[in-house]
A and B are shown apart, each in its own frame.
Chain A
Amino acid sequence: AQSVTQPDIHITVSEGASLELRCNYSYGATPYLFWYVQSPGQGLQLLLKYFSGDTLVQGIKGFEAEFKRSQSSFNLRKPSVHWSDAAEYFCAVGARGGSYIPTFGRGTSLIVHP
């Protein structure tokens, strides 16, 4: 079975600073990888996904993520954070065989200082 680890519970950045949220997965083959964002009191929204091909994927709201097979990682990045990016971010991993239901990490809470 697949698993995902988000080692940072909280991340605090200043508005305009760059951002990197970490995500590590465990799976025997190349997985499907996702980042979702959850604003306070809302459901989860898909930011981006990796299926295959180019390991650097672009998402909505200026986010990108890079799949690194050697490190089993799929870190989320943004070059300049806006105050509206303050939210909870969830990494998820899906198997290419077996269960089709993605496994979510525990989330990283992003705090943005003005």
Chain B
Amino acid sequence: DAMVIQNPRYQVTQFGKPVTLSCSQTLNHNVMYWYQQKSSQAPKLLFHYYDKDFNNEADTPDNFQSRRPNTSFCFLDIRSPGLGDAAMYLCATSSRGTGANVLTFGAGSRLTVL
């Protein structure tokens, strides 16, 4: 089945130690998103790629970076994780064309910062 796969599902890191989360998709969608979700809150969009075009949300901290080396893969890099960065990180994809934009989500990567 076509899907969105996130790795790792669980990541434990130390304060200040860089972390990379990955996302791959077999849907051939041209848009990929990274969301941060803290407990019992709505997902918060960090940034997204429309094809190769990177779009950063205005309030996304500089500590968060992203790479999309090809259509199928996207990475979230947290350069110096703080305690406040502990959260679930959700990757999503969509096919941007005419009509509504339906997002397909991965299962998420839960980050713990010690």
Contacts and interface: CB of A to CB of B under 8 A. Distances in A.
Interface of A: 9, 32, 34, 36, 41-46, 49, 51, 88, 90, 94, 100-102, 104-107, 109
Q: Which of A32, A102, A105 has the most CB of B within 10 A?
A: A102
A46 B102 CA distance: 8
B41 A107 contact: yes
28 contacts: A9-B40, A34-B100, A41-B107, A41-B110, A42-B107, A43-B92, A43-B106, A43-B107, A43-B108, A44-B90, A44-B103, A45-B105, A49-B100, A51-B99, A88-B40, A90-B42, A94-B100, A94-B101, A100-B31, A100-B96, A101-B33, A102-B101, A104-B42, A106-B41, A107-B40, A107-B41, A107-B42, A109-B40
Given A43-B90, A43-B108, A101-B48, 18 more contacts: A42-B108, A43-B6, A44-B43, A44-B92, A44-B103, A44-B105, A45-B105, A46-B103, A51-B100, A88-B40, A100-B96, A100-B101, A101-B33, A102-B101, A102-B103, A104-B42, A106-B41, A106-B42
